[in-house]
Structure 1
Amino acid sequence: MTGTFSQIYIQVVFAVHGRNSLISLTWEEELYKYITGIITHKGQKLIAINGMPDHIHFLIGIKPSCCLSDLVREIKKSSNEWINAKGFSKTKFKWQDGYGAFSYSHSSLNTVINYIQKQKDHHQKKTFKEEYFDFLKKFEIEFKDDYLFEWIE
Protein backbone atom coordinates (compact mmCIF):
# COMPACT_ATOMS: atom_id res chain seq x y z
CA MET A 1 0.00 0.00 0.00
CA THR A 2 1.34 3.44 -0.88
CA GLY A 3 1.48 6.28 1.58
CA THR A 4 2.35 9.94 1.93
CA PHE A 5 5.66 10.75 3.54
CA SER A 6 6.66 14.30 4.32
CA GLN A 7 8.72 16.62 6.47
CA ILE A 8 7.25 20.11 6.48
CA TYR A 9 8.53 22.54 9.10
CA ILE A 10 7.15 26.06 9.39
CA GLN A 11 8.05 28.89 11.76
CA VAL A 12 5.04 31.15 12.33
CA VAL A 13 5.37 34.69 13.67
CA PHE A 14 2.56 37.07 14.59
CA ALA A 15 2.07 40.11 16.79
CA VAL A 16 -0.34 41.55 19.32
CA HIS A 17 -2.76 44.09 17.79
CA GLY A 18 -1.15 47.52 17.64
CA ARG A 19 2.09 45.88 18.73
CA ASN A 20 1.05 46.46 22.33
CA SER A 21 3.16 44.64 24.91
CA LEU A 22 0.27 42.74 26.48
CA ILE A 23 1.71 39.25 26.92
CA SER A 24 2.88 39.16 30.53
CA LEU A 25 5.58 36.91 31.93
CA THR A 26 3.02 35.88 34.57
CA TRP A 27 0.82 34.08 32.01
CA GLU A 28 2.86 33.62 28.84
CA GLU A 29 3.69 30.00 29.74
CA GLU A 30 -0.05 29.24 30.05
CA LEU A 31 -0.60 30.88 26.65
CA TYR A 32 2.09 28.71 25.07
CA LYS A 33 0.51 25.58 26.58
CA TYR A 34 -2.89 26.65 25.29
CA ILE A 35 -1.53 27.22 21.77
CA THR A 36 0.29 23.87 21.98
CA GLY A 37 -3.06 22.24 22.76
CA ILE A 38 -4.71 23.83 19.72
CA ILE A 39 -1.91 22.67 17.42
CA THR A 40 -1.96 19.16 18.87
CA HIS A 41 -5.77 18.95 18.70
CA LYS A 42 -5.52 19.87 14.99
CA GLY A 43 -3.19 16.91 14.45
CA GLN A 44 0.00 18.91 14.00
CA LYS A 45 3.20 18.92 16.07
CA LEU A 46 4.51 21.90 18.01
CA ILE A 47 8.31 21.80 18.16
CA ALA A 48 9.15 25.14 19.81
CA ILE A 49 7.28 28.23 21.03
CA ASN A 50 8.42 31.47 22.66
CA GLY A 51 8.07 35.18 22.23
CA MET A 52 8.07 38.64 23.61
CA PRO A 53 5.34 40.76 25.22
CA ASP A 54 4.28 41.96 21.74
CA HIS A 55 4.73 38.90 19.47
CA ILE A 56 5.27 35.15 19.37
CA HIS A 57 7.19 32.60 17.32
CA PHE A 58 6.44 28.92 17.03
CA LEU A 59 7.88 26.11 14.95
CA ILE A 60 5.54 23.34 13.85
CA GLY A 61 5.76 20.14 11.91
CA ILE A 62 2.70 20.02 9.69
CA LYS A 63 1.07 17.34 7.61
CA PRO A 64 0.47 17.98 3.89
CA SER A 65 -3.28 17.97 4.55
CA CYS A 66 -2.98 20.92 6.94
CA CYS A 67 -4.11 24.30 5.67
CA LEU A 68 -1.70 26.67 7.44
CA SER A 69 -3.95 29.73 7.15
CA ASP A 70 -6.84 27.81 8.77
CA LEU A 71 -4.56 26.61 11.57
CA VAL A 72 -3.20 30.11 12.29
CA ARG A 73 -6.71 31.59 12.14
CA GLU A 74 -7.89 29.02 14.73
CA ILE A 75 -4.87 29.65 16.98
CA LYS A 76 -5.47 33.40 16.93
CA LYS A 77 -9.25 33.19 17.36
CA SER A 78 -9.19 30.64 20.17
CA SER A 79 -6.29 32.22 22.05
CA ASN A 80 -7.92 35.69 21.78
CA GLU A 81 -11.07 34.31 23.37
CA TRP A 82 -9.12 32.38 26.00
CA ILE A 83 -6.94 35.36 27.02
CA ASN A 84 -9.98 37.64 27.29
CA ALA A 85 -12.05 35.04 29.18
CA LYS A 86 -9.19 34.56 31.67
CA GLY A 87 -8.91 38.35 32.16
CA PHE A 88 -5.15 38.26 31.63
CA SER A 89 -5.09 41.62 29.85
CA LYS A 90 -6.40 44.86 31.35
CA THR A 91 -7.58 45.85 27.87
CA LYS A 92 -9.27 43.69 25.24
CA PHE A 93 -6.63 41.38 23.81
CA LYS A 94 -6.44 40.81 20.07
CA TRP A 95 -3.80 39.52 17.67
CA GLN A 96 -2.86 41.74 14.77
CA ASP A 97 -4.02 40.70 11.30
CA GLY A 98 -1.55 38.69 9.24
CA TYR A 99 1.40 36.51 10.10
CA GLY A 100 4.74 35.39 8.76
CA ALA A 101 5.37 31.77 7.81
CA PHE A 102 8.86 30.55 7.00
CA SER A 103 9.79 27.00 5.94
CA TYR A 104 12.86 25.07 7.05
CA SER A 105 14.65 21.84 6.24
CA HIS A 106 15.10 19.12 8.84
CA SER A 107 18.82 19.96 9.05
CA SER A 108 17.97 23.51 10.19
CA LEU A 109 15.68 22.54 13.05
CA ASN A 110 18.21 22.82 15.89
CA THR A 111 19.17 26.33 14.76
CA VAL A 112 15.53 27.43 14.53
CA ILE A 113 14.62 25.86 17.88
CA ASN A 114 17.57 27.63 19.52
CA TYR A 115 16.57 30.92 17.88
CA ILE A 116 13.00 30.64 19.16
CA GLN A 117 14.08 29.60 22.66
CA LYS A 118 16.38 32.64 22.93
CA GLN A 119 13.86 35.27 21.86
CA LYS A 120 14.26 37.39 24.98
CA ASP A 121 18.06 37.47 24.61
CA HIS A 122 17.81 38.11 20.89
CA HIS A 123 15.52 41.11 21.30
CA GLN A 124 17.95 42.89 23.59
CA LYS A 125 19.94 43.55 20.40
CA LYS A 126 17.31 43.69 17.66
CA THR A 127 13.78 45.09 17.43
CA PHE A 128 10.86 43.02 16.20
CA LYS A 129 10.72 45.21 13.08
CA GLU A 130 14.40 44.54 12.30
CA GLU A 131 13.89 40.84 12.96
CA TYR A 132 10.82 40.63 10.71
CA PHE A 133 12.47 42.52 7.85
CA ASP A 134 15.47 40.18 8.16
CA PHE A 135 13.13 37.18 7.74
CA LEU A 136 11.49 38.71 4.68
CA LYS A 137 14.87 39.45 3.09
CA LYS A 138 16.41 36.08 3.99
CA PHE A 139 13.47 34.20 2.50
CA GLU A 140 13.28 36.60 -0.48
CA ILE A 141 9.64 37.43 0.16
CA GLU A 142 8.32 40.42 -1.75
CA PHE A 143 6.16 42.73 0.34
CA LYS A 144 4.58 46.16 0.47
CA ASP A 145 5.04 48.21 3.62
CA ASP A 146 1.28 48.93 3.67
CA TYR A 147 0.58 45.25 4.34
CA LEU A 148 3.05 44.70 7.16
CA PHE A 149 2.36 44.90 10.88
CA GLU A 150 1.80 48.21 12.60
CA TRP A 151 5.22 49.17 13.94
CA ILE A 152 6.04 50.94 17.16
CA GLU A 153 8.85 53.37 16.48
Structure 2
Amino acid sequence: MGSGTFSQIYIQLIFAVKGRGSLILPSWEDELYKYITGIVQNKNQKMLAINGVPDHIHILIGMKPACCLSDLVREVKKSSNKFINEKKFSKYKFDWQDGYGAFSYSHSALDNVIKYIQNQKEHHKRQSFKEEYRLFLEKFKVEFREEYLFEWIE
Protein backbone atom coordinates (compact mmCIF):
# COMPACT_ATOMS: atom_id res chain seq x y z
CA MET A 1 0.00 0.00 0.00
CA GLY A 2 1.36 3.41 -0.97
CA SER A 3 1.61 6.41 1.27
CA GLY A 4 -1.18 8.94 1.30
CA THR A 5 -2.46 12.04 2.98
CA PHE A 6 -5.20 11.56 5.54
CA SER A 7 -6.95 14.48 7.13
CA GLN A 8 -10.05 15.68 8.88
CA ILE A 9 -10.44 19.43 8.52
CA TYR A 10 -13.79 21.14 9.12
CA ILE A 11 -14.17 24.88 8.73
CA GLN A 12 -17.18 27.12 9.27
CA LEU A 13 -17.05 30.26 7.15
CA ILE A 14 -19.07 33.36 7.93
CA PHE A 15 -19.28 36.37 5.66
CA ALA A 16 -21.61 39.31 5.23
CA VAL A 17 -23.23 41.35 2.51
CA LYS A 18 -21.30 44.57 1.89
CA GLY A 19 -22.45 47.32 4.21
CA ARG A 20 -24.44 44.63 6.02
CA GLY A 21 -27.35 45.24 3.67
CA SER A 22 -30.23 42.79 3.97
CA LEU A 23 -30.14 41.84 0.30
CA ILE A 24 -30.34 38.01 0.32
CA LEU A 25 -34.04 37.38 -0.17
CA PRO A 26 -35.92 34.15 0.60
CA SER A 27 -37.15 34.07 -3.01
CA TRP A 28 -33.65 33.30 -4.33
CA GLU A 29 -31.50 32.22 -1.38
CA ASP A 30 -31.86 28.49 -2.19
CA GLU A 31 -30.58 29.13 -5.70
CA LEU A 32 -27.62 31.04 -4.24
CA TYR A 33 -26.85 28.23 -1.79
CA LYS A 34 -26.95 25.64 -4.60
CA TYR A 35 -24.63 27.81 -6.69
CA ILE A 36 -22.15 28.23 -3.83
CA THR A 37 -22.34 24.49 -3.12
CA GLY A 38 -21.37 23.89 -6.75
CA ILE A 39 -18.34 26.16 -6.43
CA VAL A 40 -17.17 24.35 -3.28
CA GLN A 41 -17.66 20.93 -4.89
CA ASN A 42 -15.93 22.00 -8.11
CA LYS A 43 -12.93 22.90 -5.95
CA ASN A 44 -13.01 19.30 -4.62
CA GLN A 45 -14.18 20.29 -1.14
CA LYS A 46 -17.20 18.90 0.68
CA MET A 47 -20.19 21.11 1.50
CA LEU A 48 -21.64 20.02 4.85
CA ALA A 49 -24.07 22.88 5.52
CA ILE A 50 -24.99 26.29 4.14
CA ASN A 51 -27.61 28.74 5.35
CA GLY A 52 -28.01 32.30 6.39
CA VAL A 53 -30.19 35.33 6.79
CA PRO A 54 -30.59 38.38 4.54
CA ASP A 55 -27.30 40.02 5.62
CA HIS A 56 -24.85 37.10 6.04
CA ILE A 57 -24.26 33.39 5.47
CA HIS A 58 -22.64 30.45 7.23
CA ILE A 59 -20.92 27.65 5.32
CA LEU A 60 -19.50 24.46 6.83
CA ILE A 61 -17.04 22.59 4.64
CA GLY A 62 -14.87 19.52 4.90
CA MET A 63 -11.53 20.64 3.47
CA LYS A 64 -8.71 18.75 1.86
CA PRO A 65 -5.28 19.90 3.03
CA ALA A 66 -4.22 21.00 -0.46
CA CYS A 67 -6.99 23.60 -0.53
CA CYS A 68 -6.03 27.18 0.20
CA LEU A 69 -8.89 28.58 2.25
CA SER A 70 -8.41 32.21 1.19
CA ASP A 71 -8.46 31.18 -2.49
CA LEU A 72 -11.66 29.18 -1.95
CA VAL A 73 -13.40 32.08 -0.17
CA ARG A 74 -12.24 34.53 -2.85
CA GLU A 75 -13.68 32.28 -5.57
CA VAL A 76 -16.98 31.76 -3.72
CA LYS A 77 -17.42 35.50 -3.19
CA LYS A 78 -16.33 36.56 -6.67
CA SER A 79 -18.40 33.97 -8.52
CA SER A 80 -21.51 34.35 -6.37
CA ASN A 81 -21.36 38.18 -6.70
CA LYS A 82 -21.34 37.78 -10.47
CA PHE A 83 -24.12 35.16 -10.34
CA ILE A 84 -26.40 37.35 -8.18
CA ASN A 85 -25.81 40.47 -10.29
CA GLU A 86 -26.22 38.68 -13.65
CA LYS A 87 -29.46 37.05 -12.46
CA LYS A 88 -30.62 40.49 -11.23
CA PHE A 89 -31.76 38.93 -7.95
CA SER A 90 -31.22 42.24 -6.16
CA LYS A 91 -32.35 45.63 -7.38
CA TYR A 92 -29.11 46.94 -5.85
CA LYS A 93 -25.56 46.03 -6.88
CA PHE A 94 -24.64 43.03 -4.76
CA ASP A 95 -21.22 42.57 -3.18
CA TRP A 96 -19.89 40.58 -0.27
CA GLN A 97 -18.06 42.57 2.37
CA ASP A 98 -14.27 42.24 2.56
CA GLY A 99 -13.06 39.72 5.07
CA TYR A 100 -14.62 36.63 6.60
CA GLY A 101 -14.58 34.48 9.68
CA ALA A 102 -13.16 30.95 9.56
CA PHE A 103 -13.55 28.67 12.55
CA SER A 104 -12.34 25.06 12.83
CA TYR A 105 -14.17 22.15 14.44
CA SER A 106 -13.55 18.56 15.44
CA HIS A 107 -15.52 15.73 13.88
CA SER A 108 -17.45 15.26 17.13
CA ALA A 109 -18.81 18.83 16.91
CA LEU A 110 -20.22 18.54 13.37
CA ASP A 111 -23.80 17.60 14.28
CA ASN A 112 -24.13 20.64 16.54
CA VAL A 113 -22.54 22.99 14.02
CA ILE A 114 -24.81 21.72 11.24
CA LYS A 115 -27.90 22.22 13.45
CA TYR A 116 -26.66 25.70 14.34
CA ILE A 117 -26.30 26.63 10.67
CA GLN A 118 -29.68 25.11 9.76
CA ASN A 119 -31.33 27.21 12.52
CA GLN A 120 -29.93 30.57 11.43
CA LYS A 121 -33.30 32.21 10.81
CA GLU A 122 -34.64 31.24 14.25
CA HIS A 123 -31.33 32.09 15.92
CA HIS A 124 -31.28 35.63 14.51
CA LYS A 125 -34.72 36.41 15.85
CA ARG A 126 -32.97 36.50 19.24
CA GLN A 127 -29.43 37.66 18.46
CA SER A 128 -27.95 40.17 16.05
CA PHE A 129 -25.18 39.27 13.64
CA LYS A 130 -22.84 41.63 15.49
CA GLU A 131 -23.49 39.81 18.81
CA GLU A 132 -23.12 36.42 17.12
CA TYR A 133 -19.86 37.33 15.40
CA ARG A 134 -18.28 38.79 18.55
CA LEU A 135 -19.22 35.60 20.43
CA PHE A 136 -17.48 33.50 17.77
CA LEU A 137 -14.34 35.62 18.07
CA GLU A 138 -14.40 35.37 21.87
CA LYS A 139 -15.21 31.64 21.95
CA PHE A 140 -12.38 30.84 19.55
CA LYS A 141 -10.05 33.33 21.28
CA VAL A 142 -9.43 35.28 18.09
CA GLU A 143 -7.76 38.60 18.76
CA PHE A 144 -9.24 41.45 16.76
CA ARG A 145 -9.24 45.18 16.45
CA GLU A 146 -12.60 46.89 16.30
CA GLU A 147 -11.76 48.86 13.16
CA TYR A 148 -11.16 45.63 11.21
CA LEU A 149 -14.52 44.04 11.98
CA PHE A 150 -17.34 44.12 9.45
CA GLU A 151 -19.14 47.42 8.86
CA TRP A 152 -22.11 47.28 11.21
CA ILE A 153 -25.49 48.85 10.58
CA GLU A 154 -26.87 50.01 13.90
TM-score by length of 1: 1.00
Percent identity, aligned pairs only? Answer: 71
Q: CA RMSD in A?
A: 0.3
User: Which whole-Å CA distance do the structure 2 matches of 1:70 and 1:149 have between them?
Assistant: 20
Residues 1:47 and 2:48 are matched in the alignment: yes
Residues 1:132 and 2:139 are matched in the alignment: no
User: Which whole-Å CA distance do the structure 2 matches of 1:145 and 1:82 have between them?
Assistant: 31
Aligned residue pairs: how many? 153
User: Which whole-Å CA distance do the structure 2 matches of 1:152 and 1:18 have between them?
Assistant: 7
The Cα shift of 1:112 comes to: 0.1
Question: Which residue is 2:93 aligned to?
Answer: 92
Report the AA paired with residue 140 of structure 1. Answer: K
Gaps of 5+ in 2: none
Question: Which residue is 1:71 aligned to?
Answer: 72
Deviation per residue, 1:26-79 (Å, 9 max, x gap): 000000000000000000000000000000001000000000000000000000
Residues 1:111 and 2:112 are matched in the alignment: yes
TM-score by length of 2: 0.99
User: Which whole-Å CA distance do the structure 2 matches of 1:43 and 1:94 have between them?
Assistant: 25
SS in 2 for 1:58: strand
Gaps of 5+ in 1: none
Report the AA paired with residue 123 of structure 1. Answer: H
Report the AA paired with residue 88 of structure 2. Answer: G
